[in-house]
Structure 1
Amino acid sequence: MTTSDLVGLRIKTVRRQRGLSQAQLAHPELSDSYVSLIESGKRTPTPAVLELLAQKLDCSLSYLINGVTAEQMEDIELALGYARLALENGEVTEARTRFAELLANNNLTGLTTLRQDTKFGLALATEACGELDEAISILLQLREEELPQERRIEVAMVLCRAYRDSERLTEAVEVGEQMMGGSARLPWSDPLVELAATLLSAYMERGDLLRARQFAAELLNAADALGTPRSIVAANWMASKVAYNTGHNEEALSFAERAMAVQLENGHPRSVARMRLALLQQRLKARPAEVASLREALRAAVAEFEQTSTSTIDRARVHVELAYAEYMSGDFDKAAEHAMIGRSLVPEFGHVLGAEAGLLLGRVYGAVGRSQEADMHVTSVRDWLTPLPDSRRSASTWYAMAETIEQLGDSDGAVEAYERALVCAGL
Structure 2
Amino acid sequence: MDEPALIGRRVQQLRTQLGLTQRQLAEPAYTPAYVSTLESGKVRPSDAALRHLAERLGTTTEELATGRPARLLTELRLGLTDAQRALATGEADEAAVRYRTLLTEAELHHLDEERAEALLGLGDCALETGELTDAVRHFEASERLLAAEPLPRRARAIRGRAVAHILAGELRYACYVLESAIDELGTSGLADPEALVLLYAAIIGPYLDMGAQARAARAAELALALAPQVSDPALVAGMHRQVARTFLAEGRLADADASLAKAQSIYRQLRLRTDLAHCHWMRGYVYAQEDQLDAAERELRTARDMLAAKRAVLFTAQVEVELADVLRRLGRHAEAMTLLAPLTELGDQHGAVHAGGAHRLLGLIREERGEIEAAEEHYVTALGLLERSGASGDLADLCRLLGDLLRRAGRVEAAMDAYRTGLGHRAAPGTTTLGPAPLLPRI
State the TM bucket, normalised to the shorter chain: 0.7 to 0.9
1:320-347, Cα deviation, whole Å (9 max, x unpaired): 1111111111111211122234444565
**How far 1:197 moved relative to its partner?**
1.4
1:136-147 equivalent positions in 2, closer than 5 A: 136-146=136-146, 147=149
Native 8 Å contact 2:152 2:192 kept in 1? no
Aligned to 1:301: 303
Question: 1:374, CA displacement in angstroms?
Answer: 4.0
- Check whether the contact 1:190–1:230 (CA below 8 A) recurs between aligned residues: no
Letter in 2 for 1:233: A
Offset, 1:16: 4.1
Out of 328-337 and 388-397, give the one that drifted further. Answer: 388-397
Mapped partners of 2:180, 2:357: distance in 1? 32
Note the 1:18-29 alignment, pairs <5 A. Answer: 18=15, 26-29=26-29
Amino acid in structure 2 at the alignment position of 1:205: D
Q: Which has the higher contact order (CA 8 A, sep 6+)?
A: 2
Q: Deviations over 1:64-94 (max 9, x none)?
A: 3553435977986686566445533434345
Q: CA deviation at 1:38?
A: 10
1:192 correspondence with 2:189: no
In 2, the alpha carbon distance for the partners of 1:401 and 1:267 equals: 44
Structure 2 unmatched runs, 5+: 429-443
Task: Report what 2:133 is aligned to.
Answer: 133
CA distance 1:266–1:91, shift in 2 (3 Å): closer
- Find the aligned partners of 2:347 and 2:91 in 1 and give their Cα distance: 18
Shift of 1:15: 3.0
1:11 to 2:7 alignment = yes
Q: TM-score if structure 1 supplies the norm length?
A: 0.80
Pair 1:105–1:334, CA change in 2 (3 A): same
| More displaced stretch, 355-364 vs 217-226 | 217-226
TM-score, scaled relative to structure 2: 0.78
- Whether the 8 Å contact between 1:206 and 1:391 is mirrored in structure 2 is yes
Structure-to-structure mapping, 1:44-55, within 5 angstroms: 45-46=46-47, 49-55=49-55
User: 2-side partners of 1:72 and 1:145: how far apart?
Assistant: 20
The residue identity in structure 2 corresponding to 1:237 is: R
| Alignment CA distance shift 1:280-1:119 (3 Å) | same
Instruction: Tell whether the 8 Å contact from 1:375 to 1:408 is kept in structure 2 after alignment.
Output: no
Identity %: 23
**Letter of the structure 1 residue corresponding to residue 64 of structure 2:** L
Aligned to 2:110: 110
Shift of 1:363: 2.3
**What is the aligned counterpart of 2:286 among 282, 307, 311?**
282
CA distance in 2 between counterparts of 1:419 and 1:22 reads 88
Which residue of 236, 245, 248 maps to 2:249? 245
Residue equivalent to 1:352: 353
* Mapping of residues 205-224 of structure 1, within 5 Å: 205-224=209-228
User: Does structure 1 conserve the Cα–Cα contact (< 8 Å) formed by 2:244 and 2:257?
Assistant: yes
The residue type equivalent to 2:295 in the other structure is S
Q: 1:409 to 1:36 in 2, by over 3 A?
A: farther
Q: Are the counterparts in 2 of residues 318 and 342 from structure 1 also a CA contact under 8 Å?
A: no
Q: Say whether 1:201 aligns with 2:201.
A: no
Residue 159 of structure 1 corresponds to 161
Cα pair 2:2 2:65 within 8 Å, conserved: no
After superposition, the Cα gap between the structure-2 partners of 1:267 and 1:375, relative to the gap in structure 1 and judged at 3 Å, is same
Distance 2:114 2:282 in 1: 34
Which deviates more, 78-87 or 202-211? 78-87
Q: 1:176 to 1:292 in 2, by over 3 A?
A: same
Q: Name the Cα RMSD after superposition.
A: 3.9
* Contact 2:317–2:343 (Cα < 8 Å) also in 1: yes
Q: Which letter maps to 1:64?
A: L
Structure-2 separation of matches of 1:175 and 1:44: 46
Q: What secondary structure, in the 3-state scheme, does the structure 2 residue paired with 1:330 have? A: coil
> Unaligned 5+ residue runs, structure 1?
none
Shift of the alpha carbon at 1:122?
1.0
Partner of 1:120: 120
Distance (whole Å) between structure 2 residues aligned to residue 399 and residue 408 of structure 1? 14
SS at match of 1:5: coil
Cα pair distance change 1:185/1:270, threshold 3 Å = farther
Q: Structure 1 residue 228: deviation in Å? A: 6.6
Taking the aligned partners of 2:60 and 2:250, their CA distance within structure 1 comes to: 62
Q: Judge conservation of contact 2:363–2:374 (CA < 8 Å) in 1.
A: yes
